Chains A and B, each alone.
Chain A
Amino acid sequence: MPHPNFDRTKVKGLVANLTSIPPQHQNKSQALEITAGGKLYNVVVEDEKIGKDLLQNGKLKKRVTIIPLNKINSFAISAQVRLLSSATCAGILTL
């Protein structure tokens, strides 16, 4: 607990613990694990303030990556950025 009135409910938990696989897809568990890779052990929190609290005062014993729900960029954007990066860079340069 970073401080006494820390709101534990704002820490949602590890990605792994939040993932439920329906029975008909259990055979794909390994593929899903590979998909997530190291992100499986990322910690999901409500906002970046909670994340900051955890990193600075949480006395964490391991290095962790935190996913703040309010700041995270989902796949669509990252995929788009990767694809359009050349175009965007060109745009920025002309500006």
Chain B
Amino acid sequence: MQGSSLFEKKLAQVEQLAPGKANLALSLIGYPDEVARAMAFVFGDTIICEDAEAANAVTFGAKVRSVTLNGDLYDPSGTLSGGAAPSGSGTLLKVQELLEAERRLREAQSHLHDLERADTANREKRESWKRLARELDIKRHEVSLLEQQTEGSSVARVSTVDVVF
């Protein structure tokens, strides 16, 4: 990213001020690669801190915006905001559910697609099996008819006997 060396210095400073307790917001989330620049714009200038002391140290030590897990915001200009959660919070958790649901939907759809493809592939086999089964029935019937026809004649009886012995 352009001109990030200065910010990297700050990140190193942040790591020193609150070791293991501070993370760049951008590094905690996942996003499609193509929107990386937008996500850097939204999440790239703020540090998420485990507790208030860390946020305090980070914001006023390294002069970067930081937010605690409780949602208190420490701005290097000196303002602190917090207290109750803003109205309509919990959006991101809802979004996570949505993403999960969408993922399952995609999975189910691809499964359905696979099944449909397998179904069309099998249809031919099923139809040829049906046709063959029908033909077999017809042949069996012919055989039984022929047997009935020949039953009465002694020639047949003799020849059957011949065959048996």
A associates with B: yes
Residues of A with C-beta under 8 A to B26: 75
- Residue from B25, B29, B32, B45 in contact with A12 in the complex, judged by beta carbons closer than 8 Å: B32
A29 with B7: CB separation less than 8 A: no
Using C-beta atoms within 8 Å of the partner chain, give the interface range for chain B.
35 or more
- Tell me, in angstroms, the Cα distance from A74 to B10 when the chains sit together: 16
A54 contacts chain B at the CB level, 8 A cutoff? no
Number of A-B contacts (CB under 8 A): 146
Q: Return B59 CB to nearest CB of chain A, in Å.
A: 13
Q: What number of A residues sit within 8 Å (CB to CB) of B? A: 37
Residues of A with C-beta under 8 A to B14: none
B7 with A75: CB separation less than 8 A: yes
- Tell me, in angstroms, the Cα distance from A83 to B98 when the chains sit together: 39
- Tell me, in angstroms, the Cα distance from A9 to B10 when the chains sit together: 37
B91 contacts chain A at the CB level, 8 A cutoff? yes
Main secondary structure of the interface of A (DSSP, over half): helix
Q: Return B60 CB to nearest CB of chain A, in Å.
A: 15
Residues of B with C-beta under 8 A to A36: 42-43
A90 contacts chain B at the CB level, 8 A cutoff? no
- Tell me, in angstroms, the Cα distance from A22 to B43 when the chains sit together: 15
- Tell me, in angstroms, the Cα distance from A17 to B91 when the chains sit together: 10
Residues of A with C-beta under 8 A to B1: 74, 76
B93 contacts chain A at the CB level, 8 A cutoff? yes
- Tell me, in angstroms, the Cα distance from A58 to B58 when the chains sit together: 42
B71 with A33: CB separation less than 8 A: yes
- Tell me, in angstroms, the Cα distance from A75 to B43 when the chains sit together: 8
A67 with B91: CB separation less than 8 A: no
A94 contacts chain B at the CB level, 8 A cutoff? no
Residues of A with C-beta under 8 A to B90: 29-30, 33
Residues of A with C-beta under 8 A to B73: 34-35
Top-8 shortest CB links A-B: A75-B44, A75-B45, A74-B40, A76-B4, A20-B30, A35-B46, A44-B38, A29-B92
**A interface residues with partner B (beta carbon < 8 Å):** 12, 15-22, 25-36, 39-40, 42, 44, 67, 69, 72-80, 83
